Structure 1
Amino acid sequence: MWLAVAVLVGAGAVTLLVRSMGAYAQNVTGPSLVEHLLWGAAVSLPLAVRRRFPMTVLLAVSVAFLAGQSRQVADNLVPSIALFTAIYTVGAWSQDRGRARVARVGVIVVMFGWLGFNLARFMLRPEPPPFEGAVGPLDPVLASVLYGVAFNVLFFLSAYYFGGTAWLSARRKEELEHRAEELRRSQEQNMRGAVVAERVRIARDLHDVVAHHVSVMGVQAGAARRVLDRDVELARSTLRTVEDTARTAIGELRGLLGVLRAEPAEPALGEPVAQTSSPGLDQVPELVELARSAGLTVAHGTYGDPRPVPEGVALSAYRIVQEALTNVVKHAGAGAADVRVRFLEKELEVEVTDDGRGAPTAGGGGFGLVGMRERVAVHGGTLEVGPRRDGGYLVRARFPA
């Protein structure tokens, strides 16, 4: 809008100046002042909506420009500025790039046709205009033609080029803003996912640490209560086991809290954050002894050639054995269990079976089996759980090692 107003005011001012100086094109006075001002408005006012209707504005300005030229208006400067702006706007703002290219080229061809017509008419005049003071090596008429052609080539190519450049610049800017927004959303999503994953990991570790030891403590405390009046020594031994189990649980909780409060280390891809104090396969016999102290007959065996495994895998295998034994003690109603650790050629396998009811334990409906699946999935392993064919329940996990 403001550009159109500025061009309109400029057209009026230049018209008044040209008429006041008597500097008419081709030495012809042309139309009246009112008609001059109307032609200035015709090429200026369409620019107010140039961004909304760039193609229509280009057509309107081009027609007004040629019509004004045919009427031999005194001012050529402001109409040229308006035409330049219209060509530039189509290149910079038109959404249909094919039509924009055709429209600009078409207008430029028409304008050069009009220029050729005027040059031919100029050169074929019966009396060529005098060129007073012409001292150059070229013929004055030829020099005038070359000057007009060179000026118009530069004029129209500039309008075409800068319009296309503005379009490309705006497009790149839009793409950068879009990519920046996508990156911001991706970062936010990753942050939310990391927070959720960390909360799940903390919940899983807390469950593994607390549930197992508290379950054993509950069983031991119940046994101590039942034999307290009949066998004081057995009750003391059982309570001592409860005390030791409580201390172990507190120690593991302190270790877990220390991990949460410490500065995070950079883990390997797919590996949970593990500390050197984290339990592993070497502590599986302690789980077996703890389950035995709860009155469960537990067999334990290691098969294959033992070899070092990644600490994260060792921790996950330990936690799965721990959760499986916890479920056996709490829910299975079993009298015996079997814990096996197998070092296969390319895998580490841990297996816990029992002779209990063989139905899904209460842990299957809570967080226990969910935590097992998550631990196995982190390492790309497999988990098999369910009733055994000959009775009891099976938990078998395999980790790539």
Structure 2
Amino acid sequence: MTAPLPRPTRTDVRIALGLLLLSAGSTFVIGLVDPEPGVAEPWPWGYAVIAAAALPLLWRTALPRTVAVVSVTAATAYYPLGYPDGVVMACTAVMLYTLVRWGHRAFGWTLGITQFLAVNGYELLVGQTFRAEAIGVVGWVLVLLCTGEVVRWRHEYLRADRERRAEALRTRDEELLRRASEERLRLARDVHDTVAHNISLINVQAGTALYLMENEPERASEALATIKQTSKDTLVELRAILGVLRTVDEGAPRSPVPGADRIDEVAEAARSAGIEVEVEVAGSPVRLPVGTDNAVYRTVQEALTNVVRHAGADRATVLVDYRPREVLVEVSDDGRGTLGEPSAGNGITGMRERASLVGGTVDAGPAEGGGFRVRARLPIEGSDERTG
């Protein structure tokens, strides 16, 4: 069972009916106004051929190649049959242009050249003459086909330009989303590394103060003083983070990014929580890139926070070893450690993310002989001797 023909588009209906009226009307007017002797009567078969050339254009959009073959064949056959010269060839012009314009280039060129050869070959074969008008027909066909090529090229160029603009817009949107995601991750790390660290110290010191309040009020007072200072620092950090969130066009930072030169402050905070902390510096200190410098500080800060909160340790050691191509940061304690690999909580995940941003790595796990150890290797690029 054959499939039904698709429904013609409005444009194709207008083109087909317009060509039918134009072709049939021109033949009728020529036969009425300027009849030539020996010309065949167009009714009914001449008009039937005109209809065969024009009406298939109703499906010009749906079946361009099939319609072109039928229409061009009918229009080509019209003239050798001896009917009055009309403009039925306009059907051929429309279909050849359509083929080339819509990308059927080889088919359109082949059909146009074949039509020209068929018409003039018939003239040579039957009449033994070559009509001078044939040269004009060649030029007409070439202009028609080249016009279709130019219009097609322009359409493809405009389409490619629209696609480029759409891709650029999509890429820009993706870049904005990526930057927003990275900023959220950075803020999450900052909140965890600073606020969570200070809150942990406050919690430990508050417990110490409650325990010592009655028997050792002096030490309880020291714990409360530490809580006061730590809470003040926490408020400063929170204001800084909220300031970034409120800023529409973020400018340069208003305070220096904490780096390796502030490790002693982190160690002192851990000491105030009852942990004996020893800080060792090996090698020749160099000026680190900002990202690496901050990663050193945050790694030590988070590792000591975990010592205070989870390790149950009495002593911790911080080692910062400046090597030719990297800086090694190691924080170890004498606590209870873990069985196997530690769970990837926010602290360890944040350390690894910061190290990854500067091309480094972080290993965390039980230390030999007990306790827990965090070891970060952070590359040094373009460093120079620290001045100070």
State the TM-score, normalized to the length of structure 2.
Answer: 0.87
1:49 — aligned with what?
Answer: 59
Rounded Cα–Cα distance in structure 1 between residues aligned with 2:246 and 2:206: 33
Q: 1:215 aligns with which of 179, 193, 200?
A: 200
Q: 2:74 aligns with which of 53, 64, 73?
A: 64
Deviates more, 1:66-75 or 1:283-292: 66-75
User: How many pairs were matched up?
Assistant: 368
Cα deviation, 1:73-122, whole Å, max 9, x if unaligned, reads 21332x1111111111121225xx5xx51553244234234224325755
Q: 1:15 aligns with which of 27, 37, 42?
A: 27
Residue 286 of structure 2: SS of its match in structure 1?
A: coil
2:289 — aligned with what?
Answer: 310
Residue 39 of structure 2: SS of its match in structure 1?
A: coil
Q: Cα distance, 1:145 vs. partner?
A: 3.7
2:257 — aligned with what?
Answer: 278
Cα deviation, 1:159-202, whole Å, max 9, x if unaligned, reads 22222333333333333333333333333332222222211111
1:338 — aligned with what?
Answer: 317
1:168 — aligned with what?
Answer: 153
CA contact 1:224–1:239 (8 Å) conserved in 2 = yes
CA contact 2:112–2:141 (8 Å) conserved in 1 = no
CA contact 2:327–2:379 (8 Å) conserved in 1 = yes
Rounded Cα–Cα distance in structure 1 between residues aligned with 2:227 and 2:250: 35
Rounded Cα–Cα distance in structure 2 between residues aligned with 1:317 and 1:16: 95
Rounded Cα–Cα distance in structure 1 between residues aligned with 2:235 and 2:305: 17
Q: Cα distance, 1:276 vs. partner?
A: 3.7
Answer yes or no: is 1:386 the counterpart of 2:371.
no
Change (3 A) 1:59 1:31: same
Cα deviation, 1:187-233, whole Å, max 9, x if unaligned, reads 33322222222111111111111111111111111111111111222
2:386 — aligned with what?
Answer: none
1:257 — aligned with what?
Answer: 242
Rounded Cα–Cα distance in structure 1 between residues aligned with 2:294 and 2:188: 15
Q: Cα distance, 1:301 vs. partner?
A: 1.2
Rounded Cα–Cα distance in structure 2 between residues aligned with 1:360 and 1:164: 74
Letter in 2 for 1:41: A
1:127 — aligned with what?
Answer: none
User: What RMSD, in angstroms, separates the aligned Cα atoms of the two structures?
Assistant: 2.4
User: What are the ranges of 5 or more consecutive residues in structure 2 without an aligned counterpart?
Assistant: 1-12, 381-388
Rounded Cα–Cα distance in structure 2 between residues aligned with 1:149 and 1:43: 21
Letter in 2 for 1:202: L
Change (3 A) 1:33 1:330: same
Deviates more, 1:213-222 or 1:174-183: 174-183
Letter in 1 for 2:33: M
Letter in 1 for 2:173: E
2:4 — aligned with what?
Answer: none
1:359 — aligned with what?
Answer: 338
1:157 — aligned with what?
Answer: 142
Rounded Cα–Cα distance in structure 1 between residues aligned with 2:90 and 2:42: 22
1:115 — aligned with what?
Answer: 120
**What are the within-5 Å matches in structure 2 for residues 293-308 of structure 1?**
293-308=272-287
1:133 — aligned with what?
Answer: none
Residue 386 of structure 1: SS of its match in structure 2?
A: strand
Q: Cα distance, 1:30 vs. partner?
A: 1.2
1:39 — aligned with what?
Answer: 49
1:3 — aligned with what?
Answer: 15
Cα deviation, 1:231-286, whole Å, max 9, x if unaligned, reads 222211121111111111111222222233335458xxxxxx86543221121101
Deviates more, 1:176-185 or 1:11-20: 176-185
Residue 359 of structure 1: SS of its match in structure 2?
A: coil
Q: Cα distance, 1:16 vs. partner?
A: 2.1
Q: Cα distance, 1:150 vs. partner?
A: 2.1
1:324 — aligned with what?
Answer: 303
Q: Cα distance, 1:28 vs. partner?
A: 2.6
CA contact 1:348–1:399 (8 Å) conserved in 2 = yes
